[in-house]
């Protein structure tokens, strides 16, 4: 399917690995020009280097960072058509999961919301005037199935993502008539660094269940989460949905939440 993204300008936050990297690669393959905002680059991102890719090293918990990334897109490529707010999950230095509401402190809550919600608010605030000046645009906020499936685990993270879903609906209502579409994509558990890094979710859950990290990711976690497909999501599967949503092929889709979760959410 031709997505009609040739020469569109995109900003992808957290685009150096995982879902963000897969999204960056996909948008580049479709002819878009991409600005990636992340704290550091990676060898995988470096392999995509070329005239249509710019990396902006920045910490998105810094209140000025999202607007700076938007300004770089304007300076380098002349504007902004697409914003993918992908950065999220455990803030820098934080390990998840946490197993109780009582575990995170006030500081933990603030840091979680800074990374998973307030950085999105700031990026959208900076992007919308630029998009309006170009006649419209598309925003995808990467949320989580946990926003709709509360549990006694990662409560602060889930609350931040639930706020993102509400924000997305509000933005779609206000700016849809002005040509800016805003949607969410809600992944389930995705085989990314959150799980696979040393000391990450796989190791934490393996310790809690008395198993090993490979069995945890391949068998135990899918069973615990009742994943219909029996496996964690691949990042490219999420990126494909994001690419379709930012495409003009999805011109009548706004205010929607697209679930890519291996069957994690069961509710109608």
Q: Please check whether residues 167 and 36 belong to one and the same domain.
A: yes
Cα–Cα distance for residue pair 9/33, rounded to 1 Å: 5
Q: Evaluate whether residue 264 is within a structural domain.
A: no
Question: pLDDT tens digit string along 70-119?
Answer: 999 999 999 999 999 999 999 999 999 999 999 999 999 999 999 999 99
Full strand arrangement of the beta sheet holding 180-187: 53-57, 33-38, 9-13, 82-85, 137-142, 180-187, 257-260
For the whole model, what pTM was predicted? Answer: 0.97
Q: Please check whether residues 89 and 147 belong to one and the same domain.
A: yes
Assign 227 a pLDDT band (cuts: 50, 70, 90).
very high
Domain count, the chain: 2
- pLDDT, position 213: 93
Q: Please check whether residues 47 and 95 belong to one and the same domain.
A: yes
Q: Please check whether residues 252 and 226 belong to one and the same domain.
A: no
Q: Please check whether residues 62 and 92 belong to one and the same domain.
A: yes
Helices (H), the chain: 18-29, 43-46, 65-77, 106-113, 119-133, 155-175, 193-196, 201-209, 213-215, 221-224, 235-246
Q: Does the pLDDT value for residue 1 go beyond 90? A: no
% the chain with pLDDT above 90? 97
Q: Please check whether residues 90 and 220 belong to one and the same domain.
A: no
Question: pLDDT tens digit string along 183-220?
Answer: 999 999 999 999 999 999 999 999 999 999 999 999 99
Q: Evaluate whether residue 1 is within a structural domain.
A: no
Task: Look at residue 68 and give its three-state secondary structure.
Answer: helix
- pLDDT, position 150: 87
Instruction: Assess contact for 39 and 64: CB atoms under 8 A.
Output: no
Q: Evaluate whether residue 153 is within a structural domain.
A: yes
Q: Please check whether residues 128 and 60 belong to one and the same domain.
A: yes
157 catalytic per annotation: yes
Q: Please check whether residues 174 and 205 belong to one and the same domain.
A: no
Q: Please check whether residues 136 and 174 belong to one and the same domain.
A: yes
Residue of 157, 195, 258, 264 marked catalytic:
157
Q: Evaluate whether residue 263 is within a structural domain.
A: no
Q: Evaluate whether residue 262 is within a structural domain.
A: no
The domain containing residue 197 runs over which residues?
191-232
Q: String of b and e for 67-78 (b: at least 16 CB within 10 Å)?
A: eebbbbbbeebe
Q: Evaluate whether residue 150 is within a structural domain.
A: yes
% the chain with pLDDT above 70? 100
The CATH number for 17's domain is 3.40.50.720
Q: Please check whether residues 138 and 201 belong to one and the same domain.
A: no
Q: Please check whether residues 206 and 244 belong to one and the same domain.
A: no
Cα–Cα distance for residue pair 220/199, rounded to 1 Å: 17
Q: Please check whether residues 140 and 248 belong to one and the same domain.
A: yes
């Amino acid at each position: 399917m031709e997505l009609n993204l040739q020469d569109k300008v995109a900003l992808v936050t957290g685009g150096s690995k995982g879902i963000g990297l897969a999204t960056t690669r996909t948008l580049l393959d479709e002819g878009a020009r991409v600005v990636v905002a992340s704290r550091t680059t990676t060898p995988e991102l470096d392999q995509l280097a070329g005239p249509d890719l710019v990396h902006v090293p920045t910490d998105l918990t810094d209140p000025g960072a999202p607007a700076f990334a938007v300004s770089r897109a304007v300076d380098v490529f002349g504007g902004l058509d697409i914003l993918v707010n992908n950065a999220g999950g455990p803030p820098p230095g934080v390990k998840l999961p946490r197993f109780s509401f009582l575990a995170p402190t006030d500081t933990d809550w603030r840091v979680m919301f800074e990374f998973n919600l307030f950085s999105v608010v700031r990026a959208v605030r900076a992007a919308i005037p630029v998009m309006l000046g170009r006649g419209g645009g598309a925003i995808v906020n990467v949320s989580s199935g946990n926003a709709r499936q509360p549990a006694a685990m990662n409560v602060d993270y889930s609350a931040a993502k639930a706020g993102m879903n509400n924000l997305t609906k509000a933005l779609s209502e206000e700016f849809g008539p002005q040509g800016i579409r805003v949607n969410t994509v809600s992944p389930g558990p995705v085989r990314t660094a959150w799980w696979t890094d040393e000391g990450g979710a796989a190791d934490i859950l393996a310790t809690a269940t008395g198993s090993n990290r490979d069995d945890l990711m391949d068998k135990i976690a899918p069973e615990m989460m009742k994943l219909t497909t029996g496996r964690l999501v691949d990042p490219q599967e999420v990126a494909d949905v994001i690419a379709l949503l930012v495409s003009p092929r999805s011109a009548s889709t706004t205010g929607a939440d697209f679930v890519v979760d291996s069957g994690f959410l069961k509710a109608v």
